[in-house]
Structure 1
Amino acid sequence: MHRTGAPLLLPNAWDHASAAALASHGFPAIGTTSLGVAAAAGLPDGCGATRDETLRLAARLGAGGFLLSVDVEGGFGDDPAGVAELARELAVAGAVGINIEDGRADGGLAPAELHAAKISAVKEAVPSLFVNARTDTHWLPGSGRGAETLRRLTAYQQAGCDGVFVPGLTDPARIAELVGMLEVPLNILYSPGGPTVPELAALGVRRVSLGSLLHRRALAAAVAAAVDVRSGRPVSGEAFTYAQVQALAGTGIERDMRMAGSSGMWHSSQRKHSC
């Protein structure tokens, strides 16, 4: 699905309803957003605190009828074997890809060699899993990030990744230059102030992610609607009907019932949630 001239546009969901709604509008592949998953759980993003939440969401979305890529931050640990085990669990849950980043909670970068070791371990454990290796060099201040970006992407390619991701890169000339240097698809994070998807396609980009954009816009829309109601103004914009949202729950209920049936743990609380 990573085609030159027709890049994969990957919207990022944060729960079952958002993923199901996107799938119902024709998106064949959906990623998760670590910010959205963390925020929904009241936890910080990028700190390795949401391993359990990420696995639970993957289990819920893995049989959703769309291709699932899971954002695993930095792999929730620095032990390559532990990251490989996480990859196995995600693959069992139904994920076909992961996005793994070298950015750290302190604002720095993990050693390129360590990140490459994680990639190698994942590919050895689950060869079929699409590993999108992300470097956060363009989100860091300072000069020389172009050379460091290429050094890291080269190391990640050699480690066996299937694609590379450079969020924060929006300069068309630099994007085109990187495309020409890479052997794997380049993933760019869509920016409202950056190139459009057709423009990125013309530059040779083969994957475009929306990251946390949809989650942040959803939060802004919810707050705006509440403020409008409080202020006596009409609520602008469209909303899903109750029936439309209720219909999105179908696949989630079926998934829960299959999982519960295999473990013999379909409790009364789960029956309540299915009604």
Structure 2
Amino acid sequence: MPTMTFRDLHDADLPLLLPNAWDVASALAFVEAGFPAIGTTSFGVAASAGRADGGRSSRDATRDLARRLSVLPAYVSADIEDGYDDEPERVAQFVAGLGVAGINIEDSSANELIDPARHAAKITAIKRANPDVYVNARVDTYWLGQDADVESTLDRARAYVAAGADGVFVPGASDPADLRAITSELPVPVNVLVIPALSLRELGELGVRRVSTGSLPYRAAIDAAVGVARGVRDGGEVPTATPYPAMQDRLVRFERLLSR
């Protein structure tokens, strides 16, 4: 396990880059690449099982994946959609069974923002039952295009911080002025999705402390796989890849970790 705590990773010179895995193999690759913390992606987890994202479709698969990844020498943060339940105590129990360092929990269900008081109640319950878990409260105003302005976003974020959230995640926010306004008003680390036009250093200068890749690696991996097949079919260039023995060795070592 890294010597720095998961919380400490949010206080480095650059924002923490959190790559999001969708299965064991992708998580192992991220760890081997030197990332001290990894997240899961509800989209990637759901899509891998042939399910659409949202609607609490990734509950069981996320639980199983998080439990397996908890043996890795890296911190794991699980994307748990809206907590997969309306009842705060049941959400807290679900989190307690994951064995992870952190979670993302979003304030929307069925593509609609929920009452912030309901979301705050979930955060309070999670922190009461799991005080050491880093709760990243996701505000979906910009993501859904509902109340997508700074003040509405801050109103929700402040309620979640007051409820015990350790960080705030604002996916979809990308305007530098908005990001500066949000980060300057919140006393906890602010997380955003990758913004291609802004480097990690530039995001850090705007006050952002964590950047998640979300489902981007999963979607890029699917595109890369299709590119390989097309290259072979059409006589084009076929990219190199990690050799089979190397990937097999990662999985063998992982199985040994699980059996300890």
Q: What runs of 5+ residues in structure 1 fail to find an aligned partner? A: 259-275
1:235-254 superposed Cα distances (whole Å, 9 cap, x missing partner): 1x331110121121034312
Q: What runs of 5+ residues in structure 2 fail to find an aligned partner? A: 1-8
1:214-258 superposed Cα distances (whole Å, 9 cap, x missing partner): 0000000001111121112221x3311101211210343124434
User: Counterpart of 1:69?
Assistant: 77
1:223/1:254 Cα in 2 relative to 1: closer, same or farther (>3 Å)? same
Is residue 243 of structure 2 the alignment partner of residue 247 of structure 1?
A: no
State how far apart, in whole Å, the 1-side matches of 2:132 and 2:205 are: 29
Contact preservation (8 Å) 1:64, 1:251: no
Residue 253 of structure 1 aligns to which amino acid in structure 2? Answer: E
Bigger drift between 194-203 and 75-84 goes to 194-203
State how far apart, in whole Å, the 1-side matches of 2:144 and 2:69 are: 33
State how far apart, in whole Å, the 1-side matches of 2:146 and 2:81 are: 23
Contact preservation (8 Å) 1:4, 1:205: no
Residue 125 of structure 2 aligns to which amino acid in structure 1? Answer: A
User: Counterpart of 1:56?
Assistant: 64
Instruction: Return the offset for 1:142.
Output: 5.5
User: Counterpart of 2:216?
Assistant: 213
Across the aligned residues of Structure 1 and Structure 2, the Cα RMSD in angstroms comes to 1.4
User: Counterpart of 2:124?
Assistant: 120
Instruction: Return the offset for 1:140.
Output: 2.6
State how far apart, in whole Å, the 2-side matches of 1:221 and 1:83 are: 36
Identity among equivalent positions (%) equals 48
Instruction: Return the offset for 1:149.
Output: 0.5
Instruction: Return the offset for 1:52.
Output: 1.1
User: Counterpart of 1:226?
Assistant: 229
1:253/1:244 Cα in 2 relative to 1: closer, same or farther (>3 Å)? same
State how far apart, in whole Å, the 2-side matches of 1:151 and 1:130 are: 21
Is residue 39 of structure 2 the alignment partner of residue 37 of structure 1?
A: no
User: Counterpart of 1:265?
Assistant: none
TM-score between the two structures when normalised by the length of structure 1: 0.88
Is residue 9 of structure 2 the alignment partner of residue 9 of structure 1?
A: no
Instruction: Return the offset for 1:143.
Output: 5.8
1:47 to 52, 55, 67: 55
2:96 to 88, 91, 109: 88
1:4/1:29 Cα in 2 relative to 1: closer, same or farther (>3 Å)? closer
Larger radius of gyration between Structure 1 and Structure 2: 1
Bigger drift between 134-143 and 123-132 goes to 134-143
State how far apart, in whole Å, the 2-side matches of 1:142 and 1:44 are: 21
Residue 229 of structure 1 aligns to which amino acid in structure 2? Answer: V
Residue 248 of structure 2 aligns to which amino acid in structure 1? Answer: Q
Contact preservation (8 Å) 1:4, 1:204: no
Contact preservation (8 Å) 2:113, 2:146: no
Q: Secondary structure at the match of 1:233?
A: coil
Instruction: Return the offset for 1:43.
Output: 1.4
State how far apart, in whole Å, the 2-side matches of 1:73 and 1:141 are: 17
1:190-228 superposed Cα distances (whole Å, 9 cap, x missing partner): 122x31111001112111111001000000000111112
Contact preservation (8 Å) 1:165, 1:188: yes
Q: Secondary structure at the match of 2:105?
A: strand
State how far apart, in whole Å, the 2-side matches of 1:61 and 1:144 are: 34
Instruction: Give the total of aligned pairs.
Output: 252
Residue 63 of structure 1 aligns to which amino acid in structure 2? Answer: V
